[in-house]
């Protein structure tokens, strides 16, 4: 090859063409081999993500008897109950994600500042691992038994302390109640997912910033903040979807009246009174998929901006 | 079909081996499973091919009545060979199903597998479809009327031996489904709170944060009929549920109504001290709450006519244990089975005939306190109209 190019400089076309084809050949082979290794992943994605999404999407545009229709999806925008359900679900998810992210983030910061091998750190991490999964009926029942109308704390504060702050326990069965209960599992989840990023923040960077005359504020503004931003936003998104898709906790607390989307979906699938509503439920599920997709797109956009500094 | 005859053949072979082992082993016979007893030894003698051919005449697995299969005993003997019956949505505390299951197992030696006890009627149908062919699908359904009427293509027709006792209005003519038991919509409460005898009592300000309705009326039959009861007590009718919805709205506005779904744990811990529900759900709790110091009372309110709604039994046409399923049906519609329901505060469908014959359990009947007025039971059209009204109006408990 080198010989040819040296003796015949007048034929660069042939030479480059030859090189290109040879390179592309091996690259294609390597590409195919790489793809082969990815097959299990693709099968997994197809079975557990694409197939269910397709079933939901097709069902959303089908009547109970199998005819095509747009009524189910139109109802998402016209039926006051459903519009309201989406509004509440998003409100709930956003507020608990923000509350969880801020409180959990500060808690993680506190843990990082402590002794890296100390018992407190081990304890907090272990407890968070358990509490992040403490949801559903158990959690709802714990809150009911503590802060419900006839709960332990409610009774104690009223009868022993003679203060009326907790007596009207109706807050627990409202959106406020759900926000409080959800935040209970959002905080430890935030701690678990955010802690590694905080651990990655080097003391040397702070020292470098300080030695160049930077204040604590300028360190966070120009170094710490930009480095942590993508991880923080990712955690925020995780918390949002975690709350947006939660079902069992809310179901145990609130069974009457109009409510959040996941409960509406359950109602459409499980009713023994009104039947043939399964595809309305699928339309609601499709709505949820779209909301999460939009949030993820937004996240990707922000992350690209936020991580510019790091690159 | 192919698979089944092969399995029957191999079963007979195993039985024959066991039989041989027992007779040669002598004293060891006590440990041999009694499940492979007399009927099995007869078929073991004959070539398996001819055994399944002769069974086709009155096969207990496909029979549409006990008579066609050679009587209840023949059906249950075939069920015992299958070894198991799979139930779904039959919690032990619901209409005394716990005792029903124990008694049935003792009497017929057929194991009862009670799956997904807390699922709902729609969930039963879904489970039957999802699990079809796995051997784990439910053999028997226990369904609310709306779901029962909507899925008749899922059932195997079967007329129990006591078929004639069941009024025509309470059964599908070919036996696809049969009304099995009903309760009355009742108010159950902790007697510490004082006496409650009327629906109107629930509006008393002292019951703030104490009243719960079992299930969302758009989802659960118990909740739906709770609204019917409230409607009847407030000048409404089976055709007009508006007064019932208004009453619950009043309870919600005053804070009396808890939006929580009550269950055994919420009652036992005092989180839902007043529950509007079927007698057969709450009646079962009385005995279990007594040791915990709760005097749980179940009353049928006096300011409304009693509200009833039958559940329905049906056999899954794709049952993995079709003969055992038929045996189960025979048992629950026998005098013993019907009295078991009665003891669980559920009124069995053959109650009228059994009272005439003097076979109804008098003590259990007295405990239910069945009112003398004829119960109100909504027709399908009334349920449809009612749910339509509720879909538009059961929104008042707005979570803020």
Q: What are the pLDDT tens digits along chain B (400 aa)?
A: 233 333 333 333 333 333 333 333 333 333 333 333 333 333 333 333 333 333 444 788 999 998 998 899 999 999 999 999 999 999 888 889 999 999 999 999 999 999 998 888 888 999 999 999 999 999 999 998 888 999 999 999 999 999 999 999 899 999 999 999 998 999 999 999 999 999 999 999 999 989 999 988 988 888 999 999 999 999 999 999 999 999 999 999 898 998 888 888 889 888 899 999 999 889 888 888 999 999 999 999 999 999 999 999 999 999 999 999 999 999 999 999 999 999 988 999 999 899 999 999 999 888 877 667 778 889 888 998 998 899 888 876 555 4
A174: left (phi over 0), alpha (psi -120 to 50) or beta: beta
Contact B258 A267 (CB under 8 A): no
Contacts of B360 (CB under 8 A, 6+ apart): B338, B339, B342, B351, B354
Give the integer Cα–Cα distance in Å for A309 and A220: 13
A·B CB contacts under 8 A: 122
Give the integer Cα–Cα distance in Å for A75 and A83: 9
A298 to chain B, closest Cα gap in Å: 28
Q: Which letter does DSSP use for residue B372 in this model?
A: S
Q: Is residue A293 part of a domain?
A: yes
Kindly state which CATH superfamily the domain B63-180+310-364 is placed in: Periplasmic binding protein-like II (3.40.190.10)
Please indicate if any CB of chain A lies within 8 Å of the CB of B393: no
A254 to chain B, closest Cα gap in Å: 5
Higher-pLDDT residue of A60 and B25 is A60
Q: Would you say the CATH fold of B185-307+373-393 matches that of B63-180+310-364?
A: yes
DSSP secondary structure string, B119-179? Answer: --HHHHHHHHHHTTTSS-S-SEEEEEHHHHHHTGGGEE--B-TTGGGS-GGGB-TTSS-EE
Q: Which letter does DSSP use for residue B288 in this model?
A: H
**What three-state secondary structure class fits B377?**
coil
Contact B209 A176 (CB under 8 A): no
Please indicate if any CB of chain A lies within 8 Å of the CB of B218: yes
pLDDT at A106 > cutoff 90: yes
Please indicate if any CB of chain B lies within 8 Å of the CB of A270: yes
Half-sphere exposure of B329 (CA within 13 A, CB side): 37
Locate A299 and state its tokens. 């996240």
Please indicate if any CB of chain B lies within 8 Å of the CB of A280: no
How many CB atoms neighbour CB B54 within 10 A?
12
Question: What is the radius of gyration, based on Cα positions, of chain B?
Answer: 24
Q: Is residue A43 part of a domain?
A: no
Is residue A150 within 8 A of residue B271, CB to CB? The reply is yes
Please indicate if any CB of chain B lies within 8 Å of the CB of A276: yes
Query: Tell me, what's the pLDDT at B397?
Result: 59
Q: Percent of chain A beyond pLDDT 90?
A: 32
- Find residues 81-100 of chain A whose CB sits inside 8 Å of chain B: 81, 88
Contact A173 B258 (CB under 8 A): yes
Give the integer Cα–Cα distance in Å for B62 and B327: 12
Q: Chain A residue closest to B225 (CA)?
A: A273
> Region A46-57: what's the mean pLDDT?
93
Nearest alpha carbon to residue B69 among B319, B312, B327 = B327
Q: Return the H-helix or E-strand segment holding B292.
A: none
Query: Tell me, what's the pLDDT at B16?
Result: 36
Domain ranges of chain B: 63-180+310-364, 185-307+373-393
B370: left (phi over 0), alpha (psi -120 to 50) or beta: beta
> Region A111-128: what's the mean pLDDT?
87
Please indicate if any CB of chain B lies within 8 Å of the CB of A167: no
Task: State how far Cα B361 lies from the chain centre.
Answer: 19
Q: Can you give the length of chain B in residues?
A: 400
Is residue A164 within 8 A of residue A236, CB to CB? The reply is no
Query: Tell me, what's the pLDDT at A25?
Result: 58
Please indicate if any CB of chain B lies within 8 Å of the CB of A106: no
Please indicate if any CB of chain A lies within 8 Å of the CB of B336: no
pLDDT at A1 > cutoff 50: no
Please indicate if any CB of chain B lies within 8 Å of the CB of A79: no
Query: Tell me, what's the pLDDT at B18?
Result: 35
Domain that includes residue A145, residue range = 79-306
- Among B219, B241, B309, pick the best mutation site for testing chain A contact (most A Cβ within 10 A): B219
Q: Is residue A64 part of a domain?
A: no
Find residue B213's DSSP bridge partners: B276
Residues A211-261 pLDDT 10s: 998 888 888 888 888 888 888 988 999 999 999 999 988 888 888 876 789
Alpha-carbon torsion, ordered B380, B381, B385, B390, to 10 deg: -10
B393 to chain A, closest Cα gap in Å: 9
> Region A100-116: what's the mean pLDDT?
90
Please indicate if any CB of chain B lies within 8 Å of the CB of A178: yes
- Find residues 367-386 of chain B whose CB sits inside 8 Å of chain A: 383
Work out whether the CA dihedral B107, B108, B114, B117 comes out positive or negative.
negative
Contact A175 B224 (CB under 8 A): no
Query: Tell me, what's the pLDDT at A162?
Result: 80
Listed in order, strand segments (DSSP E) in chain B are: 84-88, 111-115, 140-144, 155-156, 178-179, 181-182, 185-190, 211-213, 257-258, 274-278, 296-299, 311-316, 347-348
Domain count, chain A: 1
- Find residues 264-293 of chain B whose CB sits inside 8 Å of chain A: 265-266, 269-271, 273
Q: Chain A residue closest to B207 (CA)?
A: A149
How many CB atoms neighbour CB A109 within 10 A?
16
CATH of B185-307+373-393, one of 3.30.300.160, 3.30.420.40, 3.40.190.10, 3.40.50.620: 3.40.190.10
Q: Chain A residue closest to B266 (CA)?
A: A141
Please indicate if any CB of chain B lies within 8 Å of the CB of A247: no
Q: Is residue A27 part of a domain?
A: no
Query: Tell me, what's the pLDDT at B106?
Result: 95
Q: If DSSP states are collapsed to H, E and C, what string results for chain A?
A: CHHHHHHCCCCHHHHHHHHHHHHHHHHHHHHHHHHHHHHHHHHHHHHHHHHHHHHHHHHHCECCCCCECCHHHHHHHHCHHHHHHHHHHHHHHHHHHHHHHHHHHHHHHHHHHCCCCCHHHHHHHHHHHHHCCCCHHHHHHHHHHHHCCCCHHHHHHHHCCCCCCCCCHHHHHCHHHHHHHHHHHHHHHHHHHHHHHHHCCCHHHHHHHHHCCCCHHHHHHHHHHHHHHHHHHHHHHHHHHHHHCCCHHHHHHCCCCCCCHHHHHHHHHHCCCCCCCHHHHHHHHHHHHHHHHHHHHHHHHHHHHHCCCCC
B322 to chain A, closest Cα gap in Å: 25
Query: Tell me, what's the pLDDT at B33?
Result: 36
**What three-state secondary structure class fits B116?**
coil
Contact B383 A273 (CB under 8 A): yes
- Among B149, B150, B251, B259, pick the best mutation site for testing chain A contact (most A Cβ within 10 A): B259
Contact B209 A269 (CB under 8 A): no
CATH of residue A203: 1.10.3720.10
- Average pLDDT value over all residues in chain A: 84
Q: Is residue A240 part of a domain?
A: yes
- Among B149, B216, B272, B398, pick the best mutation site for testing chain A contact (most A Cβ within 10 A): B216
């Amino acid at each position: 090859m080198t010989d040819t190019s040296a003796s015949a400089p007048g034929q660069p076309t042939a030479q480059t063409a030859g090189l290109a084809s040879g390179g592309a050949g091996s690259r294609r082979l390597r590409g195919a081999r790489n793809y082969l290794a990815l097959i299990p992943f693709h099968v997994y994605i197809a079975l557990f993500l694409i197939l269910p999404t397709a079933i939901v999407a097709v069902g959303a545009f089908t009547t109970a008897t199998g005819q095509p229709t747009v009524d189910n999806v139109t109802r998402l925008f016209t039926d006051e109950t459903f519009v309201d359900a989406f509004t509440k679900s998003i409100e709930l998810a956003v507020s608990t994600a923000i509350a969880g992210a801020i409180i959990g983030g500060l808690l993680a910061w506190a843990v990082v500042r402590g002794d890296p091998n100390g018992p407190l750190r081990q304890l907090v991490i272990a407890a968070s691992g358990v509490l992040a999964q403490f949801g559903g009926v158990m959690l709802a029942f714990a809150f009911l038994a503590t802060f419900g109308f006839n709960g332990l704390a409610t009774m104690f504060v009223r009868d022993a302390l003679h203060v009326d702050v907790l007596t009207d326990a109706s807050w627990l069965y409202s959106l406020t109640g759900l926000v409080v209960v959800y935040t209970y599992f959002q905080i430890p989840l935030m701690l678990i997912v955010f802690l590694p990023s905080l651990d990655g923040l080097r003391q040397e960077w702070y020292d470098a910033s300080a030695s160049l005359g930077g204040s604590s504020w300028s360190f966070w503004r120009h170094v710490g903040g930009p480095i942590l931003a993508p991880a923080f936003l990712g955690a925020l998104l995780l918390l949002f979807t975690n709350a947006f898709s939660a079902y069992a906790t809310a179901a145990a607390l609130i069974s009457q009246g109009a409510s959040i989307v996941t409960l509406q979906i359950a109602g459409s699938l499980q009713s023994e009174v009104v039947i043939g509503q399964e595809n309305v439920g699928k339309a609601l599920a499709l709505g949820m998929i779209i909301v999460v997709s939009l949030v993820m797109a937004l996240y990707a956009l922000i992350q690209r901006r936020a991580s510019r500094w790091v690159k | 079909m192919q698979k089944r005859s092969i399995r029957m053949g191999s079963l007979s072979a195993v039985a024959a081996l066991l039989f041989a082992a027992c007779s040669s082993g002598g004293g060891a016979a006590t440990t041999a499973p009694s499940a492979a007893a007399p009927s099995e030894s007869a078929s073991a003698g004959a070539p398996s091919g001819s055994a399944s051919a002769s069974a086709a005449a009155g096969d207990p697995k496909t029979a549409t009545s006990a008579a066609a299969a050679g009587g209840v005993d023949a059906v249950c003997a075939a069920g015992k060979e299958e070894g198991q019956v799979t139930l779904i949505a039959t919690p032990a505390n619901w209409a005394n199903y716990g005792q029903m299951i124990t008694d049935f197992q003792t009497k017929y030696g057929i194991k009862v597998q009670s799956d997904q006890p807390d699922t709902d009627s729609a969930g039963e149908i879904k489970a039957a479809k999802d699990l079809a062919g796995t051997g784990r699908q439910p053999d028997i359904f226990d369904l609310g009327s709306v779901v029962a009427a909507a899925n008749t293509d899922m059932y195997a027709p079967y007329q129990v031996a006591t078929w004639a006792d069941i009024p025509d209005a309470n059964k599908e003519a070919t036996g696809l489904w049969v009304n099995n038991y009903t309760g009355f919509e009742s108010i159950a409460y902790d007697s510490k709170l004082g006496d409650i005898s009327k629906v109107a009592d629930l509006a008393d300000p002292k019951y703030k944060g104490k009243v719960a309705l079992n299930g969302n009326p758009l989802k659960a039959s118990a909740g739906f009929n709770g609204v019917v009861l409230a409607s009847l007590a407030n000048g409404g009718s089976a055709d007009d549920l508006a007064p019932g919805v208004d009453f619950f709205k009043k309870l919600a506005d005053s804070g009396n109504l808890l939006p929580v779904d009550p269950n055994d744990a919420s009652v036992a811990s005092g989180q839902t001290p007043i529950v509007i529900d079927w007698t057969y759900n709450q009646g079962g709790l009385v005995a279990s709450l007594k040791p915990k110091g709760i005097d749980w009372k179940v009353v049928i309110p006096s300011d409304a006519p009693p509200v009833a709604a039958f559940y329905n039994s049906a056999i899954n046409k794709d049952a993995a244990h079709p003969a055992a399923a038929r045996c189960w049906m025979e048992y629950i519609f026998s005098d013993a089975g019907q009295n078991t329901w009665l003891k669980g505060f559920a009124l069995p469908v053959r109650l009228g005939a059994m009272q005439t014959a003097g076979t109804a359990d008098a003590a259990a009947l007295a405990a239910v306190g069945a009112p003398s007025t004829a119960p109100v039971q909504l027709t399908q059209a009334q349920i449809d109209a009612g749910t339509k009204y509720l879909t538009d109006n059961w929104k008042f408990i707005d979570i803020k």
